[in-house]
Structure formats: C-alpha cells, structure tokens
Structure 1
Amino acid sequence: MKLKTRLVVAFCIMIFVPVVLAGVVLFGFKNFQMKNLEQTYGLEDGADYNYLTNSLQLLNRFTRDDFEKIKKIAARKPEKLEDVSYLEELNSSLQEKYSYIIVRKDEDIIFEGAEDARDLPKDLPAYGESDADENSGVYIDGDVQALLKQVDFHYADGSKGSLFLVMTVQQILPEIKQLAIDLVVSVILILCFTAAMMSVWIYRGIINPIKKLEVATQNIKEGNLDFTIDVDSNDEVGELCRNFEEMRQRLKDNAEEKIANEKENKVLISNISHDLKTPITAIKGYVEGIMDGVADTPEKHDRYIRTIYNKANEMTTLINELTVYSQIDTNRIPYNFKKINVADYFNDCVEEIGLELESRNIGLSYYNYADDAVVIIADPEQLSRVIHNIIGNSLKYLDKPQGFINIRIKDVGDFIQVEIEDNGKGIAAKDLPYIFDRFYRTDASRNSATGGSGIGLSIVRKIIEDHGGKIWATSKEETGTIMYFVIRKYQEVPTGE
C-alpha cells in the first residue's frame, strides 16, 4: 500500500472506528445499563435517556411505591405516623433511596428525617394545600434542590397531620455517576484501542523498514556489505528499501571488483617485474662481456649486440602490453578503423612475420581461401597486435625440434575467419576455457622460456570483441593449438536502397 493511501486509510480509521465502537458501546448501555437502572429505580420498560438528566424525576419514580404505602398508612392507621420508632424505620428505608420524611402535627414538627431539612424553607405547605399524587410533587429550589410530596391526614385525637416525603439531589446519583464514568472510560478505551491499532499498523508499515535501513546504514558505515534488506511492502518506504538494497549490492560489487583489480594489478606488477628482470639481467651480462673484452671476435661481438637488441625488444613488447592493458582497464584503446583488403593486408603481415620466424628456424605456411577483393573494417595496428600476440604466445610453447606456424584465411559467409595453428605442446582441456582470462597462465613454473605478463591473450580477446568479432581455440596436448577469430566483412550498400 502506498504511503499516501496508508495515510488516507489511517485518517478514515481514526474517524470511523471510534464512531462505530462508540455506537456499539451506546447500544450496549442501552440494552444493559438502562435495564439495570429500570430495575433499580422501577422505571417502565422502554424508558429513554431523559431520566439520566433529571434526577428528581428519576427519584420520583423511585419512591412512587413508598409514597403509595405512606398514603395508605395515613388513611388507615394514622397513629403509626406518631410512633417515632416506626418513623425512624420508614425513614431509614427511604434514605437508601436518597429521600427522607418530615412529619408535622398541627403546626409542630414532630419528626425530621435528615439534617438537610433545616435547609428547606421554613414555611412548609399548609395542611390541605397539596394535591400531589405518586406522579407529581412540589419542586423546591435553593441551597438544596428537592422534590416535596405531601400527605395530609388526621390523628386519632383530631389533630391535623402532614407527612412530607422529601427527595433531595445534591449530587448526581451514584448509578448515573457510574454510568457517566463507564461512558468516559469506554471512550478512552476506544481511543486507546484505535491509537494502538494505528500505532501497530504504522510501526509495521513504516517504522520497521526504517529501523532496517538504520541497521543497514550502520553496517555500511562500519564497512560491512554482507547483509540483505528484506522488505515485502510496495509503498514508498518499501521502494526506498529496495533502492537501498540495490545500492548496497552495487557497492559490494564495486568493492569486490576493486579488490579483484588490486589483486590483478599486483599480479601484473609481479609478472612484469619478473619478465623485465630476465632481459635486463641478460643485457647487463652481455654488456659486461663486451666491456670486459669477452667478445673478442667480430662474430662474437655481433652475436652479443644482436642478443642485447632482442632482449631490448622483449622489454619493449612487455611495456607495450602494459600500456595496452591500462587502456583496456579504462576502456580507452585508441582505434583507427578503416577499410582493409584482406589479401593485401595478410600478405604484408605474413611477410613481416616470416622474417622473424625464419631467424628462429621455424616454418611458416600461409593459405588464403578468400576472394582477393574481400574487404574488412578494422584497425590495422590493433589487428597486427592480435596476430603478433597469438604467434608470440605460440612461440613460447613450441617444444618440437622443428616448429611450424600455419596461417589460414577462410571466407565464412558474412565473416572472414583467421586460423593460426602451431605444433607446440598444446593446452590441457581443463585450461582451455580460461586462456583468454587476464593473468591466467597454463604454465605455473614461470621460467624464462615461458615468461610473459599473462595478459597477451586477454588483450587479443578485447580487441577482437571491439571489432565485433569472436575468438576461440582448440588444442590437443603434445600436438598443438589452433586459434580462431572472425571479423565481419565490409559490404557495400547498393545505391538507391
């Protein structure tokens, strides 16, 4: 649920849930508390809530039966209303109903059932002035609010008597007070329940993901990226968590890549240092031989100079590979693409390579099965680097008395396929899938005969892929290896199409 929708729903819940629950509570009070009041105060079935706001009316109904009883006693046995013990008993039962009695004989008050009586007006209604029945009375307003019911009668000696039933309300009746308290408590509980429900809902929907983000940021701050943020919500906070998880994964990948690059750079520096050390040591040895007069014949002197030259070329090759590697690492290899005639280009290339192989007593065969007019789009310098790197790699592992290199050019549809075959010691099947990876070396001994930076074939793959081609190899141990790569042919688009 989106955060905006969640807030709208929360607003509706905060309004409607308390209203609905309050309605349920009122319905419960209507059916239970009102019945309790009806039973306590003798209300008629179906009484409404007006009694809750009119305590005198409620007490009037409450004492209705007592008032009828008093009227009967006054009519039949008036002498009992002169008996103090009976009056006290009657008054005690009325006090439980928040009422009391006052009895007057002629003009004298012979019984007062409560101290509140002194707060009533001194002039009580005269004999015969009240015609109250069980449903009416005289309302007295003052320091004490009271409802006064009067019963007139004659004593046995002929004296006039009046009994006053006084119902006072100085505070809310306990039952009504309890009802009000219950209503207030119910409203508070409803609000607390709604607030708790909303708090749990918001906490689970917003606070929990935020706490996960807080833990995640603390982990990242401490350099720990090996954790995950699992969030199932589809709201804005969930989207934020998912974006944060993607950021964490990217940071982790970058950190791992950085560590791998640093490791590769250390390997490269180690390889280059080792491979530079060998020709430098050789150059120093031959130079010292010349300086010390060891090369005492012209032939020996020429051989020393030629060796120094070859070793310097090896150093140049290593440095060039390092330069290309740095360009590959930053994806900034400079390409100068142009149209190249395949036959002319490879004829020149083979002629150049043939001179070097001839000096090493290695045979070279060249076969061009493509049409002489075939043209490709390529960078001549980088394509030459590819061929020289492949052949140079083959020369390192030539272990036969008579080595040879075969170069074949084939037309394979939209591509030109170049095959470079040698009769070296071959590559094991387990190593073949990895020979184009950076720093991968099938020869772990790293002797001077099989040295190298370990990046030659990775450079080859990068250049071929940048030309839109593909490179792969097949090999058989103790027999030799064939390197294949393809480059798309250039095709003229007919005019008007």
Structure 2
Amino acid sequence: MKLKTRLVVAFLTVVILPVILSGSVIFAVGKYQMNCIEKTYGISETSVESLSNSIKTLGQLTTKPYRELCDEIDRTPQKMEDAAFLEKINQELEEKKSYLLVRRNDMMAYVGTDYDEAEAVISQLPKYDENRTPSENSIYLGGEAQALVKQIDFQYEDGEEGSAFLVTDVGTVMPEVRAMAREIVIIVVLILLFTIAALIVWIYRAVMGPVAKIQKAAENIKNGNLDFEMPKADNDEFGQVYQNFEDMRIRLKESAEEKIQFDKENKELISNISHDLKTPVTTIKGYAEGIMDGVADTPEKIDKYVRTIYNKANEMNTLINELTLYSKIDTNRIPYNFNTIPVNAYFDDCAEELSMELESKNVEFGYFNYVEGDVKIIADAEQIKRVIHNIINNSLKYMDKAKGMINLRVKDVGDFVQVELEDNGKGIAAKDLTKIFERFYRTDASRNSSKGGSGIGLSIVKKIVEEHGGKIWATSREGTGTTMYFVLRKYQEVPIHE
C-alpha cells in the first residue's frame, strides 16, 4: 500500500473509528446509567434528551413523592401537623436530592434543611392557592434561590391555610449523571489514544521496515558488499526506492566486475606485450651484435641481418600501432572518416594489394566479387582496410599448411554487402569460436607458442565493424580452416519528390 494511501486511511480512521466506538460506548453507558437513575430515583422514561435537560430531569425527581403526598393529604390532612410524618417525608426527599417546606398561613411550620440555605427560597415561595390547578410541573425560582418547587395547598383542621413545597436545588447533579459523564470522557480519551497508538504503530512499521532495509543496503554498499538483493519491489513509494537501489547495486557490481576484468586484461596485455616485444628485441639485438662483432663478414650477410632487423622493427611498430588504435577505439576517440564508397572499385583495389603481399609469403590468394552494378557502402575506407588486414594477418599467424590459401569473397545480401575471408589454416576449436573477438583472448594460451600478437587484433576488427553498423562472426573446422564474415549496410539514396 502506498504511503499516501496509508496516510489517507489513517486520517479517515482517526476521524471515523473514534466516532463510531465513542457513540457505541456512550449509548451503552448512557443506557446503563439511565436504568440506574430510573431505579434509584423512580424516574420513568429517561432519555439522553431528558438527561441533557437538567430542569426536566430534576423536576422528575419529586414526581412520585409529590403524588404520594397529595394522596396522603387528601386522605388525612391532619398528618401535616405530625412532625414525625413530615420528617419521614423529608428523609425520602433527601434521597432524591430535595427537601420539604411546610407553610401555615404566612409562617413556616417545617423546614427540611438549614434555614439559612432555604431563606432565599422561602422568600420567593408562591402564595396560597396561587396555582389553582394542582400540577406535577415544577415552578422555577430564580435569583438567589435557583430551585424547582412543587406546591401542594391544603387546609388544616382548624381551617388555616397550609402549603407544602417539594424543593429541588437546580445546582444538584445526580451522582449517576456525574459518573456517566466521567466514564464517557475517560472512554472517549482511551478510544482516541488506542486508535492513535494503533495507527502510529501501523504507519511506523510501514515506514521503518523499508527504511531499515534501505539502511542495511546502504551499509552493504558502503562496506563494498554488492552480493545481495533488495526485496521485491511493491507498488508503492518504497518499492520504487527498492528498485532504484537494486539498479544502483547492479550498476556498481557491474562496474566493479568491469574494473576487475579491466585490471586483469591490462595485466595480461602487459604480459603479452612483454612477450611479444621480447622476441623481436632479442632478434634485433642479436643481429646487431652480429654485425658489430663481424659475424656478418660479407655484404650478403650484412644485407640479410639488416633486413631481419628492419622486419622485426616493423613487427614492433605494428604492435604499437595496434595498441594505440585500440586505446582510441576503447575510449571512443578514433576519428572515423565516413564516405560513400563504390563496392567493386574499393574491393578490387584491396584484392590487388593483398595478392602482391600474399604472393611474397607463398600464400595462394583468391578473389571473388559477386556484387553487380554500382552498389555503394558508407564506410571509412582506411578502417575497413584495417579490418581486412587484421583478419588476414591473424590467418597468416595461425597458418599451419605448407601451401597456404586465403580467399576473399564479396556478396550482395539484400540491404547489406557481405565480405568473407576464408583460409585453410589450423582452424579454431568450437569452444573458442565464440570468444575470439574478445580482447586479449588467444586460442593458443601457452606462452611458449611461437605465435606473436597482443590478442587485441580481432577485438579491434569487431569494434570497427560494429561502429559501421554491421556485425561480424566466424565459422571454423579444426584442421580445415576458418571463414570470417562481416556485413556492411548499403548506401541507399532517398528519392526526392518535387
């Protein structure tokens, strides 16, 4: 789940869940406390609305005592002169947070509470027979009194006027109502705390779990350990971070492996160069000493020694040129000079040059051009010639026949021109065939081999062909020979419609 979605869910949960839980709890607690109030105070049909209206609720407290007292006065009004009876009524009213006042004419005959507390009420009591119709409804006394009063008018046996008042202080709060309010506040607070705590834990785990994994991955990378995998990416913000970290790890690992391989290849290159330079340098040194020591004592010997020195110097120069070119290609700094080249004319010139060179080395050369018309390619003529010469030099290097043979074939294959160079050399083993274009790879791994070369010739060939938008491959049979193929895209004119 996305972090944004989690935050939205958390917000809705904080808003909705406490409301639902609090409502349910308030209903349950309210129902329980209302039942308690009904049983304790004899109030019927209580509701949240009645409890919220304190005047109405307090007025109901004395409803039952009011009715009972009315009935008693109707039956035996003389009891209103009985102090014990009045005390009993007052005790019942005290249980309901009320008290009794009895007035005879204009004098107070009974006061069921401290007189000083009741003085403000007494001063505002309604007159006898002021409310002609008996009613259970309370009379509200304001000012300092702040009380609800229910009045019962009667006459004593001697005919004097009497009034009984059931007084309830409006500041009275029933313990059950207070307890209910306290319980509701506590429960609502607990619900809020529980909801918030649960959401904090939920979001914390959703955030800190991925953060811990990212931190561990960062520590692995810092310590150079790249052999680990990030967790599978989920469809959220952290999933994208996981994927980015995994991509970074892979890139870093590839870079590290490339550096190790590069260092290994450089060491191998230095080893190859040392070996390949050692032979011609030793030869040059030996023949030069022969001339200096007078071993070459005839003009013919001197000429032979000098030519050998010259040829070995050329070998060294070729090796150095190869290394220089490869460093330029490897860093993409080789300056290509692409031009439109006619296929037939270009390869005819190459064949003529190769024929003379191979003839001097006692190698039979065959040239077969199957391209018709004025087919052209876009290429760097010098670099393509370098490709052909490198392939041929590689064939000559591994030629094991007394009478060598090299064939050059040029074919038209649709949108490409295909060049084939076939030899009858020693061939290449199937296990090595896919590796011959790797730099520094040599099928003859023995350093005792008489074959020279740095092992980068065919890798240069591959690089140049690919930079021309073509591709190169080889087929071979051990003991029979090898054929190198490479293709170059034809030049095609785009017609202009006027």
Q: Same-fold call, TM > 0.5?
A: yes
1:232 maps to what in 2? 234
Aligned pairs for 1:82-97 (under 5 A) are 90-97=89-96
Does residue 330 (structure 1) correspond to residue 331 (structure 2)? The answer is: yes
Matched-pair contact (CA < 8 Å) for 2:419–2:485:
yes
SS in structure 1 of the partner of residue 119 of structure 2: coil
1:59 positional shift: 2.7
Matched-pair contact (CA < 8 Å) for 2:371–2:411:
no
1:284 maps to what in 2? 285
Cα deviations across residues 287-322 of structure 1 (Å, max 9, x unaligned)?
Answer: 333333333333333333222222222221221221
1:136 positional shift: 3.3
The answer for unaligned runs of 5 or more in structure 1 is: none
Does residue 121 (structure 1) correspond to residue 123 (structure 2)? The answer is: no
Identify if the C-alpha distance between structure 1 residues 320 and 89 changes in structure 2 by more than 3 Å, giving closer, same or farther.
farther
Cα deviations across residues 206-249 of structure 1 (Å, max 9, x unaligned)?
Answer: 66656655555555445454432544235x66556545554454
Q: Give the counterpart letter for 2:235 in structure 1.
A: S
Range 265-274 or range 148-157, more displaced: 148-157
Identify if the C-alpha distance between structure 1 residues 208 and 171 changes in structure 2 by more than 3 Å, giving closer, same or farther.
farther
1:112 positional shift: 5.3
1:85 positional shift: 6.2
1:449 positional shift: 1.4
Q: Give the counterpart letter for 2:271 in structure 1.
A: S
1:154 positional shift: 6.9
1:439 maps to what in 2? 440
Range 349-358 or range 450-459, more displaced: 349-358
Does residue 455 (structure 1) correspond to residue 445 (structure 2)? The answer is: no
- Supply the distance in 1 between the matched residues of 2:264 and 2:439 (Cα, whole angstroms): 11
2:274 maps to what in 1? 273
Q: CA RMSD in A?
A: 4.2
Does residue 71 (structure 1) correspond to residue 70 (structure 2)? The answer is: yes
1:435 positional shift: 1.2
1:389 positional shift: 1.2
Q: Give the counterpart letter for 1:365 in structure 2.
A: F
1:460 positional shift: 0.9
Matched-pair contact (CA < 8 Å) for 1:339–1:375:
no
Identify if the C-alpha distance between structure 1 residues 143 and 270 changes in structure 2 by more than 3 Å, giving closer, same or farther.
farther
1:321 maps to what in 2? 322
Q: Give the counterpart letter for 2:402 in structure 1.
A: P
The answer for unaligned runs of 5 or more in structure 2 is: none
Does residue 99 (structure 1) correspond to residue 98 (structure 2)? The answer is: yes
- Supply the distance in 1 between the matched residues of 2:266 and 2:229 (Cα, whole angstroms): 28
Identify if the C-alpha distance between structure 1 residues 149 and 390 changes in structure 2 by more than 3 Å, giving closer, same or farther.
same
Identify if the C-alpha distance between structure 1 residues 86 and 291 changes in structure 2 by more than 3 Å, giving closer, same or farther.
farther
- Supply the distance in 2 between the matched residues of 1:335 and 1:479 (Cα, whole angstroms): 36
SS in structure 1 of the partner of residue 482 of structure 2: strand
1:419 positional shift: 2.5
Q: Give the counterpart letter for 2:380 in structure 1.
A: D
1:487 maps to what in 2? 488
1:144 positional shift: 6.1
- Supply the distance in 2 between the matched residues of 1:138 and 1:201 (Cα, whole angstroms): 57
Does residue 53 (structure 1) correspond to residue 61 (structure 2)? The answer is: no
Q: Give the counterpart letter for 1:433 in structure 2.
A: T
Matched-pair contact (CA < 8 Å) for 2:129–2:153:
no
Range 425-434 or range 241-250, more displaced: 241-250
Matched-pair contact (CA < 8 Å) for 1:421–1:481:
yes
Q: Give the counterpart letter for 1:118 in structure 2.
A: D
- Supply the distance in 1 between the matched residues of 2:225 and 2:84 (Cα, whole angstroms): 92
Matched-pair contact (CA < 8 Å) for 1:408–1:419:
yes
Matched-pair contact (CA < 8 Å) for 2:97–2:172:
no
SS in structure 2 of the partner of residue 418 of structure 1: strand
Does residue 419 (structure 1) correspond to residue 420 (structure 2)? The answer is: yes
2:382 maps to what in 1? 381
Identify if the C-alpha distance between structure 1 residues 212 and 114 changes in structure 2 by more than 3 Å, giving closer, same or farther.
farther
Q: Give the counterpart letter for 2:67 in structure 1.
A: E
TM-score of the two chains, using structure 2 as the length reference: 0.80
Identify if the C-alpha distance between structure 1 residues 221 and 142 changes in structure 2 by more than 3 Å, giving closer, same or farther.
farther
Aligned-pair identity (%): 56
2:469 maps to what in 1? 468
SS in structure 2 of the partner of residue 275 of structure 1: helix
Aligned pairs for 1:75-474 (under 5 A) are 75-76=74-75, 90-102=89-101, 113-115=112-114, 117-121=115-119, 123=122, 125=125, 128=128, 133=134, 135-141=136-142, 145-151=146-152, 163-185=164-186, 187-188=188-189, 191-192=192-193, 195=196, 199=200, 213=214, 215-225=216-226, 226-228=228-230, 230-234=232-236, 239=240, 242-243=243-244, 245-360=246-361, 362-370=362-370, 375-377=375-377, 378-474=379-475
Identify if the C-alpha distance between structure 1 residues 145 and 461 changes in structure 2 by more than 3 Å, giving closer, same or farther.
same
Identify if the C-alpha distance between structure 1 residues 134 and 271 changes in structure 2 by more than 3 Å, giving closer, same or farther.
farther
Identify if the C-alpha distance between structure 1 residues 86 and 214 changes in structure 2 by more than 3 Å, giving closer, same or farther.
farther
1:155 positional shift: 7.3
- Supply the distance in 2 between the matched residues of 1:146 and 1:233 (Cα, whole angstroms): 68
SS in structure 2 of the partner of residue 431 of structure 1: helix
SS in structure 2 of the partner of residue 331 of structure 1: coil
Identify if the C-alpha distance between structure 1 residues 429 and 231 changes in structure 2 by more than 3 Å, giving closer, same or farther.
closer
1:166 positional shift: 3.0
SS in structure 1 of the partner of residue 60 of structure 2: helix
Matched-pair contact (CA < 8 Å) for 2:50–2:56:
no
Matched-pair contact (CA < 8 Å) for 2:371–2:410:
no
1:417 positional shift: 3.1
Q: Give the counterpart letter for 1:180 in structure 2.
A: A
Identify if the C-alpha distance between structure 1 residues 161 and 346 changes in structure 2 by more than 3 Å, giving closer, same or farther.
closer
- Supply the distance in 2 between the matched residues of 1:440 and 1:496 (Cα, whole angstroms): 51
Cα deviations across residues 175-204 of structure 1 (Å, max 9, x unaligned)?
Answer: 222333344345545655664576567657
Matched-pair contact (CA < 8 Å) for 1:41–1:59:
no
Matched-pair contact (CA < 8 Å) for 2:370–2:409:
no
- Supply the distance in 1 between the matched residues of 2:311 and 2:37 (Cα, whole angstroms): 118
Identify if the C-alpha distance between structure 1 residues 286 and 161 changes in structure 2 by more than 3 Å, giving closer, same or farther.
same
1:62 positional shift: 1.9
Matched-pair contact (CA < 8 Å) for 1:342–1:372:
no
Identify if the C-alpha distance between structure 1 residues 134 and 266 changes in structure 2 by more than 3 Å, giving closer, same or farther.
farther
Range 131-140 or range 387-396, more displaced: 131-140
- Supply the distance in 1 between the matched residues of 2:251 and 2:171 (Cα, whole angstroms): 77
- Supply the distance in 1 between the matched residues of 2:442 and 2:318 (Cα, whole angstroms): 18
Matched-pair contact (CA < 8 Å) for 1:461–1:470:
yes
